């Protein structure tokens, strides 16, 4: 086990279906195999646990993401590498998240970029189909905006990169930073 003095939060943002959780999950597995304490937090888990009943209006999303930001901050300040996978569609929401986390830990914004055409084609949960049929409201990319990051730490373009290439890119960039963080115990 590698105990970091302080962890970090890698916040993966992008359209639903862009590959955020898939990439984060595989990177988490690799880091755990190396002995790091890692937590993967994604929107589905959060809405079933700490944000039950939270809706998708702008205000509801902001409140939901504020809760998650505090959770990631607490984990990271205690030496955990946090991979957070959330659509987090608004720049001001991501700014708020960054401000909360950076008071005590490193925050890395990762833009998992995919075109609307690609995510509609992938549509792993059938959400775009329902949104296009008018069955659900506030769907990011359809009737709610996605404001792409202006200056992310890393961009992963899943229109061009395979899942494995995407995982390798995030993993290698994270390892560069993790290798520089103070370790308080190993073994």
3-state secondary structure the chain: CEEECCCEEEEEECCCCCCHHHHHHHHHHHHHHCCECEEEEEHHHHHHCCCCCCCCCHHHHHHHHHHHHHHHHHHHHCCCEEEEECCCCCHHHHHHHHHHHHCCCEEEEEEEECCHHHHHHHCCCCHHHHHHCCCCCCCECCCECCCCCCCCCEEEECCCCCHHHHHHHHHHHHHHHHCCCCEEEEC
The reported pLDDT for the residue numbered 145 is 92
pTM: 0.95
Known catalytic residue at 88:
yes
pLDDT in tens, 19-47: 999 999 999 999 999 999 999 999 999 99
- Which one of the listed residues 18, 51, 85, 88 is annotated catalytic? 88
Token couple for 95 = 């700014």
pLDDT at position 81 over 80: yes
Domain ranges for the chain, please list them.
2-186
pLDDT at position 187 over 80: no
CATH code of the domain made up of 2-186: 3.40.50.300
- Average pLDDT over every residue of 122-142: 89
């Amino acid at each position: 086990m590698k105990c970091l003095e302080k962890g970090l939060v890698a916040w993966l943002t992008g359209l639903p279906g862009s590959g955020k959780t898939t990439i984060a999950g595989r990177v988490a597995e690799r880091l755990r195999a190396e002995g790091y304490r890692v937590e993967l937090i994604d929107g589905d888990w959060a809405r079933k646990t700490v944000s039950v009943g939270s809706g998708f209006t702008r205000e509801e999303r902001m409140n939901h993401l504020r809760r998650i930001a505090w959770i990631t901050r607490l984990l990271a300040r205690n030496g955990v590498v946090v991979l957070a996978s959330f659509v987090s569609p608004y720049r001001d929401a991501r700014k708020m998240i960054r401000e909360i986390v950076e008071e005590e830990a490193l925050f890395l914004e990762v833009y998992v970029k995919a075109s609307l055409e690609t995510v509609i084609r992938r549509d792993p949960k059938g959400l775009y189909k329902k949104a296009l049929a008018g069955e659900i409201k506030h769907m990011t990319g359809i009737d709610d905006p996605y404001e792409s990051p202006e200056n992310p730490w890393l961009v992963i373009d899943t229109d061009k990169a395979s899942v494995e290439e995407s995982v390798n890119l995030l993993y290698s960039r994270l390892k560069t930073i993790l290798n520089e963080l103070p370790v308080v115990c190993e073994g």
